[in-house]
Structure 1
Amino acid sequence: MSPKELNRVDVIRDISERRLRQKDAAELLKLSRRHIQRLVNQYRGQGPAGLVSLRRGKRLCCNTLSPLSFDMTRRLGSYLASQVE
């Protein structure tokens, strides 16, 4: 778990044990109250493992180019630059 996730676990645990209000936790973690409620529900259902990001280890689908796409984009840029001259 990342330090950010470990901090979340502590805060969400405090909410579950009624030592902290959701409103205060939202300010502390800089999240909305609704998102805090989602995290609390995940924590209650799955424990600390429920707070681990499910996106960890996955590639960004929209910001990555395959090597072929990258090469084609580079060639198109070179072609357009030569047309301007």
Structure 2
Amino acid sequence: MAAPTLTEAYVRHTLNWLNRWEDEGAKPVHDEWRGLAHGVGEQASQGGKTGTFMGIDEDFGMLLRTQEGTTLVPLTTLLEDPS
């Protein structure tokens, strides 16, 4: 497949999902992502917390099960500057 054809296909696919998100909210994107998620049920560390990766919430925050209970690591944690 030629690079322009691949790029066009990627852009169409991305725009389709952005339009669905805008029209229907995050649920369809969330549902599709859950089927693609790797590592659910495995140990994970994020945002200074370690536990079992349980998936994501409706706002795409990471759900970690720790000894204290289920903890939410907001998606914005990945965007924050660690310095």
TM-score where L is the length of structure 1:
0.25
Which has a greater percent of strand? 2
Which has a greater percent of helix? 1
Task: From the CA coordinates, give the structure whose radius of gyration is larger.
Answer: 1
